[in-house]
Amino acid sequence: MDRRTFLQIAAASPLLASEPAIPNYRIVSRYPKPAHPAMPGPYRGHAVRVRSAHSIDAASGVENASVVRQMLSAGVRALTRETKDRDAWSHFISSSDIVGIKVNCSGAPNIMSSPEVVAGIVENVMAAGVPAPHIYVYERFLGQLRSVHYDRHVAPGVNIQAVETSRGSIAGYDPDTYVEADFFGEDDTRSNMVRLVSQTFTKIINVPNMKEHQAAGVTGCLKNIAYGNFSNVSRSHRDSVSNTYSFIGTLASVEPIPAKTVLNVMDGLRGVWHGGPFSYDPKFRFYPKQILFGTDPVALDRLLIDVIEEKRKQEHAPSIFDRSPAHIRESGGLDPNFNHFVREPRHIEYASKLGLGVYDLARIQLKEIDL
C-alpha cells in the first residue's frame, strides 16, 4: 500500500480504525510452549503501582537510591503478598537460574532503565541466591548500553553485555529462532532472537521505561521484550506506515520469551510524552515518579497508555490514537501536534489476543501504593 492510499484510508476515521492487514508471519522456534508460561504468568491481569514524590529530583534528574529500593520492596511484596523481600523475589528467581535483566537504553543518556532501579533488582536477585556471574544486564546496542555505566552501580562480576558490539553484527543472534515477514519488499525479511535469550538465560526480568513511541504509540513492556530481543526490527515502519500493530505481539509471543520472562518492572521515574523512544528535547521529558510491577506485560502497558495520554492531554497534544493525516509530517518529532507515523498503540490489545495478557481495564486489578 502506498502512502497516499494509506492516508486516504486513515482519513476516513481519524481516531478509530479497523484492524490493519496482518502480514504473513513465519515463526521458527524449536522451543515448545510450556503449560504454564511465565508471561502473562501467575499474576495475569494484576498490577502494582508504587509512587514516591521523593524517588527522583526533576530538576537534576538524580534518583534517590534509598527510596527506589523501598519502592522495589513494596512493589514486589505487594504483587506476591509476601512480607519479606527474599521470599517475594523467590517467586520468580531461584539460586540455580541464569538471569537476564533486559534494560532499555534507546533514549540514553537522557532516559533509560534507571541505574538505581537496575541496581536494586540485581541486589534482590543476588539475595535470592543467584551469584553475580549468573546475572546479565543486557541490551542490543553497545554504545547505548555503555553510555549508562551500569557497571558503576552493580556488584562486581555482574555481566554488562551488548548483543551487537558493532551495528549490524549477527553473532549475538540465534540463526535457528526467528520471525520472517516481508513488510515493504526489504532484502532481509528475518528478525532473529537474541542468542542469550534462547540459549543462555533461564529467567528474564524486563525493565522498560514509560515512553511515547512515534510508530508504536508507546514503548513499554511488550516492545522492550520484543524489539529489544530481535534483530532487524526497525524495518517494520517506513514513511508513515507502521506494522508495529501486529509485529510487537508476534515477536513477544515467540518461545522461549513467554516461558522465561518472569517479571516486568516498568521504570516510570522518568518518562517521554512525545518524540520517543529517544529524548533529544528535554521539553518532552516528564517525571511520573512511579514504578509498575507485574507478570502481565499487556496489563502494565495498558496502564502506560493512560499515563502518556494524560500527560499529552495536559500539554494539549493529540491522542496517541489519533490517525488523522493532518497530523502526519516528516519532522513530526519536533512538534507535539505532528508525528512521523500513524501510531499503533493498539499493538497492546493485539498482544492480548495472542494470550499475552489482559487489556480490558475493567479486568485489571491494580494495587496503588504511595510512599
At residue 167, the pLDDT reads 73
Full residue range of the structural domain in which residue 223 is found: 3-11+37-370
At residue 325, the pLDDT reads 83
Burial class (CB in 10 A: 0-12, 13-18, 19+), 95: exposed
At residue 15, the pLDDT reads 46
Does the residue 25 lie in any domain? no
CA distance 343 to 326: 13
Q: Which is more confident, 3 or 296?
A: 296
Does the residue 17 lie in any domain? no
Q: Which long-range contacts (CB under 8 A, 24 or more apart) does 231-236 make?
A: 231/140, 231/164, 231/170, 231/173, 231/190, 231/191, 231/192, 231/194, 232/188, 232/190, 232/191, 232/192, 233/191, 235/183, 235/184, 235/186, 235/188, 236/183
Does the residue 27 lie in any domain? no
- Per-residue pLDDT band at 14 (split at 50, 70, 90): very low
Cell triple for 119: 541496581
Q: Please say if the pLDDT value at position 172 is more than 70.
A: yes
**Closest among 148, 136, 251 to 191, alpha carbons compared:** 251
Q: Please say if the pLDDT value at position 336 is more than 70.
A: yes
Number of domains in the chain: 1
Helix axes 65-80, 115-127, angle to 10 degrees: 50
Q: What is the mean pLDDT of the chain?
A: 92
**Closest among 260, 281, 274, 277 to 309, alpha carbons compared:** 274
CA distance 336 to 127: 44
- Mean pLDDT on 27-47: 96
Q: Which is more confident, 332 or 297?
A: 297
At residue 18, the pLDDT reads 67
Does the residue 101 lie in any domain? yes
- Structural contact between residues 51 and 371, judged by C-beta atoms closer than 8 angstroms: yes
Which residue is listed with cell 538524580?
Answer: 62
Does the residue 70 lie in any domain? yes
Does the residue 61 lie in any domain? yes
**Closest among 304, 296, 298, 299 to 320, alpha carbons compared:** 304
- How many C-beta atoms lie closer than 10 Å to residue 2's C-beta? 9
What does the DSSP assignment read for 30-88?
-PPPPSS-TTT-TTTTEEEEEE-TTSEETTTTEE-HHHHHHHHHHHHHHHHT-SSHHHH
- Mean pLDDT on 212-231: 96
Cell triple for 320: 496517541
Does the residue 261 lie in any domain? yes
247: left (phi over 0), alpha (psi -120 to 50) or beta: alpha
Q: Please say if the pLDDT value at position 340 is more than 90.
A: no
Does the residue 30 lie in any domain? no
pLDDT in tens, 185-196: 999 999 999 999
**Closest among 25, 3, 14 to 350, alpha carbons compared:** 25
- Structural contact between residues 232 and 291, judged by C-beta atoms closer than 8 angstroms: no
Q: Which is more confident, 169 or 56?
A: 56
CB burial string 96-108: b at 16+ within 10 A, e below: ebbbbbbbbbbbb
